[in-house]
Amino acid sequence: MGDKGFLIQKPGFATTAIHAGQDPSKWKSAAVVTPIVMSTTFKQPAPAEHTGFEYGRSGNPTRNALEECLAAMEGAKHALTFASGLGATTTIASLLSQGDHIISSDDVYGGTNRLFRQVISRLGIEVSYTDFTDINQVKTAFKKNTKLLWLETPTNPLIKVVDIAALSRLVKSQGDVIVVVDNTFLTSYLQRPLDFGADIVVYSLTKYMNGHSDVIMGAAVLNDDDLHKRLRFLQNAMGVVPSPMDCYLVNRSLKTLALRMEQHKKSALTIAQWLEKHPRITEVFHPGLPTHPQHEIAKKQMTGHSGTFSFRHSGGLEESRKFLSSLQVFILAESLGGYESLAELPSLMTHASLPAEARELLGVNDTLIRLSVGLEDVDDLIDDIEQALKQAFE
């Protein structure tokens, strides 16, 4: 199933996603499908004695089953879930203290950028932004108080691919710095950052992992016991936990992750190749295309690419508006990773919270369109793009 030249998928992924943490014998009823346990409190046989669960914030059986499954899918020891992807980010940032320093990639997810710029930095934690595709820039960004490196690959919306192994090596040579990789765009099916030296993998499960656009949730996956203990404490102490109902939905969705990602991958590449040949399209940012500047790095650390990529056309803001409002199958909306195809204009939507200069510097202008290619028939998606481009440029 591997794409040409990309890493070979480890065997057993789908089996793990379906069975890990789901053993029916852990329920008295022997339920095959993990039950939704709504109870917020659990009976204790004697004061301060418990049978694994005390109170729903500190632990819940449905949540535990999901966390076990997430860890196994990543080949990791531990996983923790949070009320949202940004809840996971907030919790990880709370490992740090006043006076510490974070290095973040410059085109990090808009919400992460906003959290770092407008909340975390107010708490006396310094954040600098660097282009992680240039390792020398990262080197010079290090300070004595650097404690954490936050990277996303591929980045959003410009789909730059960052060399996780090279960056992790550099970071480890600089001292005790935690490497966090936001793996939302690829999922554990397409990229396993822990294998390349990362310490924590963070997810917005809201996107591909859940894949049905009906849950907001986040996760952190890791091997280190001490970091896990500290994050487990923060998960409970800060109260950033997801609901049992949502845990049920995500756990259910993981059972089809491998199948869904294969289809996202195939359809997105087909559309990217079609766009590359279109006379109105000037650039296509997709890591599966040999023209992508980091195509070689992508093949080294990914088993393939997902359904999200972006492109630029030869018009201006007016053409972008016309194109987006002419789409019939693609829905004009933020987010990505669901079964339904979405299209958006990052400059006015997902990345509007970035300062204008930062947008300009990154190249997030009004002709850059981001697609999240869903699971519809690919011919219908291409026909839709074709007719919308015609309307935009008529």
**216 lines the binding site for ligand PLP (CB under 6 A):** yes
Which of the 8 DSSP states describes residue 59?
Answer: -
Structure tokens at 354: 């970035």
Q: Cβ closer to ligand PLP: 184 or 326?
A: 184
Report the relative pairing of strands 281-285 and 308-313 from DSSP bridges: antiparallel
> Which range touches ligand PLP (CB under 6 A), out of 124-132, 177-185, 188-196, 379-387?
177-185
Work out how close the CB of 48 gets to ligand PLP at its nearest, in angstroms, rounded to a whole number. 35
Candidate list 56, 154, 157, 218; residue touching ligand PLP; CB under 6 A: 218
**344 lines the binding site for ligand PLP (CB under 6 A):** no
Q: Cβ closer to ligand PLP: 87 or 315?
A: 87
Q: Cβ closer to ligand PLP: 14 or 342?
A: 342
Which residue lies nearest ligand PLP, judged by its C-beta?
85
Which of the 8 DSSP states describes residue 343?
Answer: E
Separation CA 16–CA 70 (nearest Å) = 9
Structure tokens at 328: 């019939």
**91 lines the binding site for ligand PLP (CB under 6 A):** no
**301 lines the binding site for ligand PLP (CB under 6 A):** no
Alpha carbon 252 to its chain's center: 18
Work out how close the CB of 224 gets to ligand PLP at its nearest, in angstroms, rounded to a whole number. 21
11 dihedral zone (left: phi>0; alpha: psi -120 to 50; beta): beta
57 given a catalytic annotation: yes
Work out how close the CB of 82 gets to ligand PLP at its nearest, in angstroms, rounded to a whole number. 8
Residue of 182, 199, 246, 366 marked catalytic: 182
Report the relative pairing of strands 146-152 and 101-105 from DSSP bridges: parallel
Order across the sheet with 281-285: list the strands: 281-285, 308-313, 368-372, 342-344, 331-332
**197 lines the binding site for ligand PLP (CB under 6 A):** no
Q: Cβ closer to ligand PLP: 178 or 342?
A: 342
Four-residue CA torsion sign, 74, 77, 83, 89 = negative
Contacts of 201 (CB under 8 A, 6+ apart): 74, 76, 180, 181, 183, 188, 192, 193, 194, 220, 221, 222
Work out how close the CB of 330 gets to ligand PLP at its nearest, in angstroms, rounded to a whole number. 18
182 given a catalytic annotation: yes
Cβ–Cβ under 8 Å, residues 73 and 254? yes
7 dihedral zone (left: phi>0; alpha: psi -120 to 50; beta): beta
**111 lines the binding site for ligand PLP (CB under 6 A):** yes
Q: Cβ closer to ligand PLP: 22 or 90?
A: 90
Work out how close the CB of 271 gets to ligand PLP at its nearest, in angstroms, rounded to a whole number. 20
Which of the 8 DSSP states describes residue 212?
Answer: S
Q: Cβ closer to ligand PLP: 288 or 337?
A: 337
383 given a catalytic annotation: no
**264 lines the binding site for ligand PLP (CB under 6 A):** no
Active-site residue list: 57, 109, 182, 207
Binding region for ligand PLP (CB under 6 A): 84-86, 109, 111-112, 152, 156, 182, 184-185, 204, 206-207, 216, 218
